[in-house]
Amino acid sequence: MASGSVIENLSTRKLCFLLLSLAVAQAVFFAVGALLAPVPSSSMEFEMVKCSDKTRGASGEWFYVRPQNCDLIEDLSTYTPQSFDLREIVFVAQMPHARSGLQLEYSPWFQFLLGLLHVEVEYSDHFKYVAGASLKLEVRMGVRSLAEGPEEWREYMETNVTRTLECTIDKNKRSEGNTYDCDTLDLFELGSNNYPFYLMNIRIPIDREACIRDASSPNCQIGKINSLNLVAIHQNGGFTMVWLWLKTLLSPIVIAAVYWFNRRLSLLPRQKLLLEKAILSLGVALIVLDAPIEWVSLFTKLPCLLLLSDLRQGLFYTVLFSFWLIFAGEHLIDDPQLNNLWSYRMNLSLVAVASLSLLIYDMAERGMQLADPFYSIWSSETGSAIAYISIYVALLCTLAYFAFLFYKIVVVWNSIRRKRAAHLYRTSENRRLKVEGVIYRFKFLMLFTLLCSALTIAAYFMRQFGEASLHGDSPDDSIMTHSTSAFFTGTFGMWNIYVLLLIAMYAPSHKEYAGSEGLVDESEDLISGERVESNLLTTFLKPATD
């Protein structure tokens, strides 16, 4: 008597019930995102108030507007500065807004806070703007808690920020009073939202001597600036709540399933097969992804939350992409290479290079932002070159990977079709019926794999494109600020369903069948060299020896 995996021994009735249950669960995930979760992110725009500081920063005081501590400058075009360096002009944004007489506040449920800056440059024949001008800002960020008074601001960060100001204007608008169309600049990004109130004080100083020595020095070619507009983007608290509860409910289920799968494998009188190890690794990666560590950020400061989320997502993508190659390859690989991870070294190298490239970019960007939230890898030529190289290398490897994966799946599919029509398993009615059932189940898994890979690719590029759009000129048009919640929750649920289905289908079965000895005997001629115990479909797809 011998036992196989669940995919071989599960009855059709139980299999249909399992698949129906998973289909209902998948529909629930999409419905939760569509009906319960708001859009992932929201934005709030601030036209920065202009204040006059006669001490030019020597006093160290904060300037704010609620309650007002600001010598207001109504219009910069009519304002006469007392000094050339312009440090007496302070641009002020107090976040969040007050609405209907009530002061709004940020919440830890918002998870992150992204600040973008739009500079309004007026065309001037006297103060000329030069393309690619270097803009240097002296920035102070203040914070206060609910327990502190409206005037008790504490310094969170003081730094100098340098960005490249890229602006364009039509030829027919090059006259006094018209404004340039300038790219939006990244200002800051906080990986967690730890304070209810934030205050920004920004100065744009000009060094006369530096401009005389070198006209391309910071702020010497930025033209005539009329105003600054700050856009603050945060994750919606309602979306965070739905996302967290999904993780909290799924996490123990996945942990229990992985534990059960590993225990079943450990009871077998053999070592784990490569495919089983790959499924186990995928389950562990899903546990890491599902872990609801965001709960911690609601009660304590966790500035590395955004970086941790990226690293967990990257780990899951890496293991998932690697698994797909092994899943397809283990049913086609030649006998001497059976159950050997080294035989996949060339295939997995694409995944490794892409993952490493994105890891370098992530650590260079969000890793540095842990120490300085105003840091941007795009603010220097060297940093921009590193970022572009990392992204392009990852993109090329990803495209090559999916082309190769599609090829592997096509080969597997054709092998099933050819073998099914051959006489290989027709010598025994028991064997024919057994393999027929397994083939249908494997085809379903392969179709589910194709669907999962397609939605995973879409989710990956939607997230990357959406986050890039948040940093672009029209953050309100980003897909992250539109109704994509159902897609994200649905895809997240699909990953969990896919991994749970693999665990359920490839776990060793406790059932034994009277005809199983005959099946083993008939498969012996299919395996050359050292005999390796594997599931029936893998054995079936092996090329017959002469």
pLDDT in tens, 266-276: 988 888 888 88
Percentage of the residues of the chain whose pLDDT score is greater than 70: 79
Q: Give residue 462's pLDDT.
A: 65
pLDDT band at residue 433 under the 50/70/90 scheme: low
- The pair of three-digit structure tokens given for residue 534, joined into one six-digit string: 């594997």
pLDDT at 346 over 90: no
C-alpha 474/C-alpha 181 separation (Å) is 12
Predicted TM-score (pTM) of this structure: 0.81
**Of 223, 63, 194, which Cα lies nearest the Cα of 132?**
223
Dihedral angle computed from the Cα positions of residues 59, 63, 68 and 70, in that order, rounded to the nearest 10 degrees: 70
Which has more confidence, 541 or 35? Answer: 35
**Of 386, 391, 390, 366, which Cα lies nearest the Cα of 376?**
366
Residue keyed to tokens 């990956």: 460
**Mean pLDDT estimate for the chain:** 80
pLDDT at 537 over 60: no
pLDDT at 240 over 50: yes
For residues 181 and 167, the answer to whether their CB atoms sit within 8 Å is yes
C-alpha 135/C-alpha 115 separation (Å) is 17
pLDDT at 262 over 70: yes
Please give the average per-residue pLDDT across 72-78, as a whole number: 85
Q: Give residue 197's pLDDT.
A: 95
Please give the average per-residue pLDDT across 154-172, as a whole number: 92
pLDDT in tens, 348-376: 888 888 888 888 888 888 888 888 899 88
pLDDT at 382 over 50: yes
Q: Concatenate the DSSP letters of all residues of 100-149 into one string.
A: TTEE----GGG--EEEEEEEEEE--SSS-B-TTEEEEEEEEEEEE-TTS-
* Ranges of CATH 1.20.1070 domains, the chain: 6-40+238-541
pLDDT at 56 over 50: yes
Q: Give residue 8's pLDDT.
A: 60
CA distances in angstroms from 11 to 18, 313, 416, 444, listed in the order given? 11, 36, 21, 15
Please give the average per-residue pLDDT across 197-225, as a whole number: 91
pLDDT in tens, 386-407: 877 887 887 788 778 878 888 8
pLDDT band at residue 142 under the 50/70/90 scheme: very high
Q: Give residue 339's pLDDT.
A: 66
- Mean pLDDT highest for which of 2-6, 35-39, 461-465, 510-514? 35-39
Q: Which CATH class is domain 6-40+238-541?
A: mainly alpha
For residues 199 and 115, the answer to whether their CB atoms sit within 8 Å is no
Least confident of 164-173, 307-316, 327-336: 327-336
SS3 65: strand
Q: Give residue 155's pLDDT.
A: 94
At 267, the amino acid letter reads L
Q: Give residue 529's pLDDT.
A: 38
Q: Give residue 316's pLDDT.
A: 92
Q: Give residue 333's pLDDT.
A: 46
CA distances in angstroms from 393 to 352, 384, 389, 462, listed in the order given? 11, 14, 6, 19
